């Protein structure tokens, strides 16, 4: 294990997004605030479907927090990889004494740091609107960590697959964005017609948002253990896929 080389690549990833703090950290927080301002007048209590006596704005906060984490963790690793490919910097990683696992670890760790920072910022800003008493703090941190890991690996997959920025933009607009908005951020999936509820169960982002909502509010649409199992399986599959693409040099060695 090349700890020093992995640490340096991780350091580069972290400094890359911190150097544009306004775009990578502040912008997601502003987006979350705008959503809260728009929906603030609808601050009625959620009734039924397991969300009793929960203000709608408070119901929104876990979803907005996780949505920000998912989108930014994905953007971090995907944009870094596509830049490395387009600028020719990827060759320096391939010839460096770093294994495929170490490269993946550095990229994903950078995405995790950005996801955690964004989550913390959104949580602090959400506290200006509502009193947020987290029911399970350790579970909340673990879920943000795991979800950032998943999206960091998925971003790495998308960055390797994409040859141009418009390919990556298409992946974000036609895969990440729809899955995020249709995962229960703004509504309880129990309110959906049966067919759409069943379709939601195939959306991996739904399990991340529902699990985080349980860790913060203590209430959720489905059993928390099902969500945790789904997140772990998704994390393993995305990391394995990202490692395989790096290991085989898929779209990297041509």
Q: What is the pLDDT of residues 22-72, one digit of tens each?
A: 999 999 999 998 988 887 766 565 544 456 677 788 888 999 999 999 999
Give the separation between CA 189 and CA 206, rounded to whole angstroms.
9
Query: Can you tell me whether residue 46 is helix, strand or coil?
Result: strand
Residue 204 predicted with pLDDT over 90: yes
Q: Which of 67, 245, 86 is nearest to 168 (CA)?
A: 86
Supply the pLDDT for residue 48: 46
- Rounded to the nearest 10 degrees, the angle between the axes of helix 100-126 and helix 137-161 is 130
Contact 213, 219 (CB under 8 A): yes
Residue 207 predicted with pLDDT over 90: yes
Supply the pLDDT for residue 49: 47
Chain segment 88-140, per-residue pLDDT in tens? 888 888 888 999 999 999 999 999 999 999 999 999 998 888 888 899 999 99
Instruction: Name the burial class of residue 208, with classes exposed (0-12), middle (13-18) and buried (19+) by CB atoms within 10 angstroms of its CB.
Output: buried
Residue 157 predicted with pLDDT over 90: yes
> Mean per-residue pLDDT for 183-202?
87
Residue 235 predicted with pLDDT over 90: yes
Q: Which of 132, 112, 110, 109 is nearest to 122 (CA)?
A: 132
Helix (H) or strand (E) holding 99: none
pTM of the model: 0.92
DSSP secondary structure of 106-165: HHHHHHHHHHHHHHHHHHHHHTTTS----S-HHHHHHHHHHHHHHHHHHHHHHHHH-SSH
Token output for 117: 């920072």
Supply the pLDDT for residue 78: 95
Give the separation between CA 156 and CA 158, rounded to whole angstroms.
5
Phi, psi dihedrals of residue 202, rounded to the nearest 5°: -90, 0
Chain segment 218-228, per-residue pLDDT in tens? 888 889 999 99
Indicate the average pLDDT of the chain: 90
Helix and strand numbers, DSSP H then E, in the chain: 12, 2
Supply the pLDDT for residue 202: 93
Supply the pLDDT for residue 152: 96
- Split at pLDDT 50, 70, 90, the class of 188 is confident
Say what the alpha-carbon torsion angle 210, 142, 73, 222 is, to the nearest 10 degrees: -10
Supply the pLDDT for residue 189: 84
Supply the pLDDT for residue 233: 96
**CA 91 to chain CA centroid, nearest Å:** 28
- Split at pLDDT 50, 70, 90, the class of 254 is low
């Amino acid at each position: 294990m090349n700890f020093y080389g992995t640490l340096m690549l991780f350091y580069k990833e972290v400094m890359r997004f911190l150097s544009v703090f306004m775009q990578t950290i502040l912008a997601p927080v502003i987006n979350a605030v705008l959503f809260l301002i728009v929906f603030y007048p609808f601050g009625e209590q959620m009734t039924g479907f397991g969300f009793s006596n929960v203000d709608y704005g408070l119901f929104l906060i876990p979803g907005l927090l996780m949505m920000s984490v998912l989108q930014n963790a994905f953007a971090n690793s995907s944009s870094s990889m596509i830049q490395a490919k387009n600028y020719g910097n990827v060759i320096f990683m391939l010839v460096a004494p770093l294994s495929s696992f170490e490269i993946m670890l550095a990229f994903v760790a950078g995405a995790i740091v950005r996801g955690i920072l964004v989550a913390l910022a959104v949580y602090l800003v959400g506290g200006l609107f509502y009193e947020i008493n987290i029911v399970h703090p350790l579970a909340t941190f673990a879920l943000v960590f795991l979800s950032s890991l998943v999206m960091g690996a998925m971003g790495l997959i998308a960055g390797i697959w994409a040859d141009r920025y418009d390919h990556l933009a298409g992946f974000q607009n036609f895969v990440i964005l729809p899955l995020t908005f249709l995962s229960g951020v703004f509504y309880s999936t129990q309110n959906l017609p049966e067919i759409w509820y069943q379709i939601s169960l195939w959306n991996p982002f739904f399990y991340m948002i529902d699990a985080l909502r349980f860790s913060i509010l203590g209430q959720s649409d489905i059993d928390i253990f099902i969500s945790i199992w789904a997140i772990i399986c998704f994390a393993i599959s995305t990391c394995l896929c990202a490692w395989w693409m790096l290991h085989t040099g898929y779209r990297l060695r041509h």
